[in-house]
Structure 1
Amino acid sequence: MKELRTIIFDETEAAAAVVTFCRKNKRSLPSGTLKGFGIREGEGVTGVLSVTDDYGAVHEMVLTQEEVAAALVAHCMTRSIPLPKDASKVITAVDNQIVLAFEIGHIDAKKMVRASRMRG
């Protein structure tokens, strides 16, 4: 049996999760006003936190897929959202929303998420 579970975060929720994760892990954040958070897909998936400083310059903080997944999982845990223990996690972006997909069994979550988006 195979299962795919997804949790969809809007940009604000994902940004809050990442900022909390960075503070908890004593990772310094750029000073300024939070501009946004997004996912970049290329050779690998990365999260990018954008901050505008007092002079209007934009600074980006890049997080690995593992860091973003850890931030989103921690965010869910603090809100008592049940998560599968023995599942691999995949991060992707769909329609300006961040998707945390849990693969249980041997399926390709990224392909399944995109296929369901095309059908719906």
Structure 2
Amino acid sequence: MRELRCLVFTEQEVVKAILDRRRRVNEPLPTGTVDKVTYEDGDNVETKLAITHDDGTRETLTLPETEVAAALVAHCMNRRIPLPVASDKMLYIINGALTLMITMNFNKSPRLVVTHAATVEGAGGSSGPELRPAPRRRRIGG
């Protein structure tokens, strides 16, 4: 079984995430104002920032998918949005908006839950606690 989550970002969130990441890792920041954000979808998603400098000149800054994905993950972590560590994270463009798709795989073996009663009962005379699965709980109500 797999689970898929999609986080859709506004242009302002994308720009803020990129600038915050570049500031944090001491990479050069663009000077001027970001006028427009565009995305190119090919083998990878490229993010292009159209920047107007204070003197009126224009520049386009092209960012690779890995940098933007790292910036968006850090942006989510700073806002305490839970992201699973053991998941695949990919960028897509959906309806013109940059989307971070998170895919989790649930084909892992279930964890064994140890009850407190099992550790107390198994402590007398044995080499270690006896491990038993916790009893199933019944769901009450609708």
Equivalent residues, number: 106
When Rg is computed on C-alpha atoms for both structures, the one with the higher figure is: 2
- Give 1:23's aligned residue: 23
Q: Contact 1:38/1:98 (CA < 8 Å) preserved in 2?
A: no
User: Which structure has more RCO (C-alpha within 8 Å, separation ≥ 6)?
Assistant: 1
Q: Which runs of 5+ in 2 are unaligned?
A: 106-142
CA RMSD in angstroms, aligned pairs only: 1.7
1:66-85 alignment runs, 5 A limit = 66-85=66-85
- Give 2:98's aligned residue: 98
Structure 2 Cα separation of the partners of residues 62 and 80 of structure 1: 28
* Identical residues among aligned pairs (%): 36
Q: Which 4+ stretches in 1 moved above 3 angstroms?
A: none
- One-letter code aligned to 1:5: R
- Give 1:88's aligned residue: 88
1:34-73 alignment runs, 5 A limit = 34-73=34-73
Secondary structure, counterpart of 2:81 in structure 1: coil
TM-superposed CA distance for 1:45, in Å, is 1.5
TM-superposed CA distance for 1:54, in Å, is 2.5
* Structure with a larger share of its residues in strand: 1
Secondary structure, counterpart of 1:104 in structure 2: strand
Secondary structure, counterpart of 1:43 in structure 2: coil
Q: Which moved more, 1:56-65 or 1:18-27?
A: 56-65
Structure 2 Cα separation of the partners of residues 64 and 74 of structure 1: 16
Structure 2 Cα separation of the partners of residues 48 and 90 of structure 1: 17
Q: Which runs of 5+ in 1 are unaligned?
A: 106-120
Q: Contact 1:11/1:96 (CA < 8 Å) preserved in 2?
A: no
TM-score of the aligned structures, taking structure 1 as reference length: 0.79
Structure 1 Cα separation of the partners of residues 68 and 3 of structure 2: 22
TM-score of the aligned structures, taking structure 2 as reference length: 0.68
Q: Contact 1:15/1:36 (CA < 8 Å) preserved in 2?
A: no
- One-letter code aligned to 2:51: V
Q: Contact 1:12/1:36 (CA < 8 Å) preserved in 2?
A: no
* Structure with a larger share of its residues in helix: 1
